[in-house]
Chain A
Amino acid sequence: MVETLGEIQINDVQKIYPADGLGAKTTEAIHHVSATIHPGEFVALIGPSGCGKSTLLRILAGLDVPTEGTVIVDGNQIAGPSRERGLVFQDATLYPWLTIAENVRFGLKLDHQKDTDAKVQEFIDLVGLTGFEEQYPSQLSGGMQQRVAIARALINYPKILLFDEPFGALDAFTRMRLHDQLINIWQKRKLTMVIVTHDVEEAVYLADRVFTMTPRPAILKEIVPVNLPHPRDRNSPEFIALKEKVLGILNFKA
């Protein structure tokens, strides 16, 4: 891992869902979005529900195909899901029939890798779950499950890690603790991260740049750079000013 890549070019991406049923109209989930995400950058996609942020993330993951436009990752147009782009969902979606260690090992098994014990342990330690290796997901709290999901994605050394509202279902304290852990991991592993969220504070706390998106039309309205060093102070005037700026763009201020 000498050189970290993970550049994403989003070129005029449009996504239209066909009408489902008689008399129904087609839905435009994304209305022509173009942007570039730099290698090693942390980007937050934020906006109210229906703005297409999750659809855009699924397109980046390769799980959805844009109706028009392309996504280029490190010079190659994406054609489907790949090990280079990990994904963490809102609920951890750990495999309940596998232990924590087996969940983390899952990607290595798919890749037919042998002698993976040390590596699995390394990533379990990385997310601070040492001692929970032989537990089943149902025995862990939501926050712990989400950390396992992050370890499970990281172990495949993806260039890009995508998060779909990963902390939405967690309580505020767990969420703040996970924010710091995530920043820690991101600084250590220097990979590109894209997080979808509807929490403005989360976006400003984590991201280098906040992509604000609006529904009807579902467009990328404005990109807000966050030039604050980590760890960020949630109560500093600069932080609050940035939060208010994002809220203003999303039309939540008078």
Chain B
Amino acid sequence: MTETSNLSEEEAPQIEAIRAFFAPAAIFLTLIAQLILPKAAAVTAKSLPWYTDVLLVALVITVALALYHLFTGKAQGFVYKSYFIGGVFLVLGLYNLVTLKFALINPLFFPSPESILNVIVKDWAFLLKCLGYSTRLLLTGLAFGITTGLITGVLIGWYANWSYWLSPVVKLFGPIPSTAFIPVALSAFATSFQASVFLIALSTWFPITILTNSGIINVKKEFFEVADTMGASDAQKIFRVAIPGALPDIFVGIFNGICSSFITLMTAEMIGVKYGIGWYINWQRQIMGYANVYAGLLVIAVSFSLLITIFFKIRDHFLRWQKGIIQW
């Protein structure tokens, strides 16, 4: 945000105008290449309008924003991002040339942008359904993993007796990638859904336990002594001092947990669970539907990124007292 606000001070108006129009110019160039150049002979699929449509829409939006900026001086955020947006479309155009226009790489494994977009247009309902299945599985696993991770982390961090019995167990089982438990989980649970929930919870549980524990251990001793001189009970010291004090570490643990839960989710879906985005990708790979594989990857990228963004918003709310926390 500070970068955007500094922009107007540092750059002269002309340079800023050029910057604003970089994105539309790059998109225009990409669009021209798409319209003028003929399709490569090796690409047998029939032509589809989606890629051209996307470029057109992007062009209209960016031109509108650039003009808006030119006349009002507003839309600073867009001007700041303009180089990046233009760069993205240039890379996309380059990929279009390499695939659709000249077929320099195998079109079977590297489908053109328009055929990937075609999957999203034609198959969106099913993709959404798969995403729904994945989300249900992931969130159930995360809920169990975060809850148990917090409980064990607090127990180990606060009570010497719990630490004595649980620490070795955590140290022994925690570092095992939870995907290594797949054979065990599949035979121990009645359904593959339950097994996957267990695996996702397991992969989330470990980092949260470790970081909650170390977070609590690192809370300044004086914080507890101050609470003592105000007559705090054990429970009050846990919930009003230890956990809030450990919260920055706990959030790092949850972040690590979420990241490893993504891996576990994908693996679980590719191995056993019916439906879900991971399952979709694996299924399409088997029937050589590589455009569908890429579309699935796109859906994953957007939804996982969204999930992490939501997580960071929650964290920023809880840690608003802290300065200089990790940015997302």
The yes or no verdict on A and B being binding partners is yes
Chain A positions near chain B (C-beta within 8 angstroms): 61-63, 80-83, 85-87, 89, 91, 93, 95-99, 106-107, 109-111, 136-138, 152-153, 156
Measuring CB to CB, which residues of chain B are less than 8 angstroms from any residue of chain A? 220, 222-223, 225-233, 236, 240-241, 244-245, 247, 319, 321-323
Residue numbers in B under 8 Å from A107 (CB-CB): 230-231
B169 to chain A, nearest CB (A): 30
Q: Report B-chain residues with C-beta under 8 Å of the C-beta of A96.
A: 321-322
| Contact present for A111 and B226 (CB under 8 Å) | no
Chain B residues with CB under 8 A of A152: 226
Known: A93-B220, A95-B223, A138-B323. A110 touches B245 (CB 8 A): no
- In the complex where A95-B244, A97-B245 touch, is A89 in contact with B230 (Cβ < 8 A)? no
CB of B304, distance to nearest CB on chain A (Å): 29
Ordered by A's residue number, 16 sampled pairs between the chains whose C-beta atoms are within 8 Å are: A61-B225, A81-B225, A86-B229, A86-B230, A87-B225, A89-B222, A91-B222, A93-B223, A96-B322, A97-B245, A106-B227, A110-B231, A110-B232, A137-B321, A138-B321, A138-B323
Known contacts A93-B220, A95-B223, A136-B321; A156/B230 CB under 8 A: yes
Q: Is B232's CB under 8 angstroms from A97's CB?
A: no
Task: Please measure, in the bound complex, the distance between the C-alpha atom of A109 and the C-alpha atom of B227, giving whole angstroms.
Answer: 11
Contact A83–B229 (Cβ < 8 Å) = yes
List chain B residues, Cβ under 8 A from A87. Answer: 225-226, 229
Distance, CA A106 to CA B223, complexed state (A): 12
CA distance A109 to B228 in the complex (A): 13
Q: Are A97 and B227 in contact (CB under 8 A)?
A: no
In the assembled complex, which residues on chain A have CB atoms less than 8 Å from the CB atom of B220? 93
Residues from chain A with Cβ under 8 Å of B227 in the complex? 106, 110
| Minimum CB distance partner of A58 in chain B | B225
Closest 9 CB pairs of A and B: A81-B228, A107-B230, A83-B231, A93-B222, A87-B229, A136-B321, A97-B244, A81-B229, A97-B321
CB distance from A87 to the nearest CB of B (A): 4
Please report the C-alpha to C-alpha distance between residue A63 and residue B229 in the assembled complex, in whole angstroms. 8
Partner among A93, A99, A136 whose Cβ is within 8 Å of the Cβ of B226 = A93
Which of B227, B230, B232, B236 has the most chain A CB atoms closer than 10 A to its own CB? B230
Residues in A whose Cβ lies below 8 Å from that of B229: 61-63, 81-83, 85-87, 153
Q: Whole-angstrom distance from the CB of A42 to the nearest CB of chain B?
A: 19
Interface of A is mostly: loop
- A156 partner residues in chain B, CB cutoff 8 A: 230-231
CB distance from A91 to the nearest CB of B (A): 8
Q: Residue among B226, B321, B322 with the most chain A CB within 10 A?
A: B226
Known contacts A61-B229, A82-B229, A106-B230; A95/B241 CB under 8 A: yes
Q: Which residues of A contact B247 (CB under 8 A)?
A: 97
The distance from the CB of B111 to the nearest CB of chain A, in whole angstroms, is 50
B241 CB contacts on chain A under 8 angstroms: 95
User: In the bound complex, how far is the Cα of B64 from the Cα of A228, in angstroms?
Assistant: 79
**A106 contacts B240, C-beta separation under 8 Å:** yes
* Alpha-carbon distance A152/B227, docked complex (angstroms): 11
Give the residues in chain B near A80, CB-CB below 8 Å. 228
Q: By CB atoms of chain A within 10 A, which of B227, B231, B247, B322 has the most? A: B231
CB contacts (< 8 Å) of B228 on chain A: these are: 62-63, 80-81
Bound Cα distance A148, B220 (Å): 18
A residues in contact with B222, CB < 8 Å? 89, 91, 93
Q: Nearest Cβ in chain A — how far from B248, in angstroms? A: 9
- What are the residues of chain A within 8 A of B322 when measuring CB–CB? 96-97
Smallest Cβ-Cβ distance to B247: which chain A residue: A97
Distance in Å: Cβ of A175 to nearest Cβ of chain B: 21
Q: Shortest beta-carbon distance, A135 to chain B, in Å?
A: 10
What residues on B are CB-neighbors of A62 within 8 Å?
228-229
CA distance A106 to B232 in the complex (A): 10
> Cα distance A93–B227 when bound, in Å?
11
Whole-angstrom distance from the CB of A97 to the nearest CB of chain B? 5
Which of B240, B319, B321, B323 meets A110, CB within 8 Å?
B240
Q: How far is the CB of A93 from chain B (nearest CB, A)?
A: 4
In the bound complex, what is the Cα–Cα distance between A60 and B261 (angstroms)? Answer: 51
Measured CA separation A109–B239 after assembly (Å):
12
Partner of A89, one of B226, B245, B321: B226
Bound-complex Cα distance A138 to B233 (A):
27
Q: Do A111 and B244 touch across chains, with their CB atoms under 8 A apart?
A: no
Contact status of A110 and B236, CB under 8 A, knowing A83-B231, A95-B244, A96-B322: yes
Closest CB in chain A relative to B197 CB, distance in Å: 32
Cα-based distance from A35 to B243 in the complex (angstroms): 40
Chain B proximity of A171: nearest CB distance (Å): 22
* Shortest distance from the beta carbon of A111 to any chain B beta carbon, whole Å: 7
| Residues in chain B near residue A86, CB distance under 8 A | 229-230
How far, in whole Å, are A62 and B222 apart by their CA atoms in the complex? Answer: 13
Kindly state the separation between the CA atoms of A89 and B225 in the bound complex, as whole angstroms.
Answer: 10
| Cβ–Cβ contact A110 & B230, under 8 A | yes
From B320, which residue of chain A is reached at the shortest CB distance?
Answer: A136
Closest to A149 in B: B226
With A82-B229, A93-B220, A110-B232 already in contact, 9 other A-B pairs whose C-beta atoms are closer than 8 Å: A85-B229, A86-B229, A86-B230, A87-B225, A97-B321, A98-B244, A106-B227, A110-B227, A153-B229
Is the pair A111, B231 in contact by a Cβ cutoff of 8 Å? yes
